[in-house]
Structure 1
């Protein structure tokens, strides 16, 4: 019978062996932001900036994905734009065809293909 290991503390000593150092992991490509224009009544030249898809916090994306594809897409926009920009973005009506075009351009910028999982490395 194999012995199971149980953690005795949430803190471990600095000299203990570990299997993987997540702190040392770096992006394989430059995580350059994606910028686009979307006019509002107040600003016909309004520019918005989205963080690169691979640099987004995965936790809110996973929660949004539980609601289906449209919810996942909105979750990506909200996380990538940040709360302040997302609220401004939502104030201007957005036709579905433009949302799809924006998402496609964003994925292309980030190097992901249609049908590819957001968690995929692209390799």
Structure 2
């Protein structure tokens, strides 16, 4: 069984998120149910992922501005979702080599990058939603 790289897994999640975003408005309209952020619901502070559902739905509908204003992280997820299909196909066909494990330094850099991205997204959400500590 072939293992998938981290970008392939994140891109695969993006593909699933795009599919869900395409049907989500119909589900919420017919059922009346929404998907609130658990952290924001419990303590009133948004999480770094707040707005991703709204952003995904907006992006699937072609409303780039609304997607950006909800959560700009969606564009990175969308880029990986678009890239993962050909990448997996080329690897399955043997055109590209299978993924190699990352070095410990590479994993550390990616961990820092992910942490910085989450922090930036969280600060964006705090600003967007007008949350202040005062």
TM-score, normalized by length of structure 2? 0.24
Relative to the length of structure 1, the TM-score reads 0.25
Q: Structure with the greater relative contact order (CA < 8 A, sep ≥ 6): 1 or 2?
A: 2
| Structure 1 or 2: more strand by fraction | 1
Which protein has the larger Cα radius of gyration, Structure 1 or Structure 2? 1
Structure whose residues are more often helix by fraction = 2
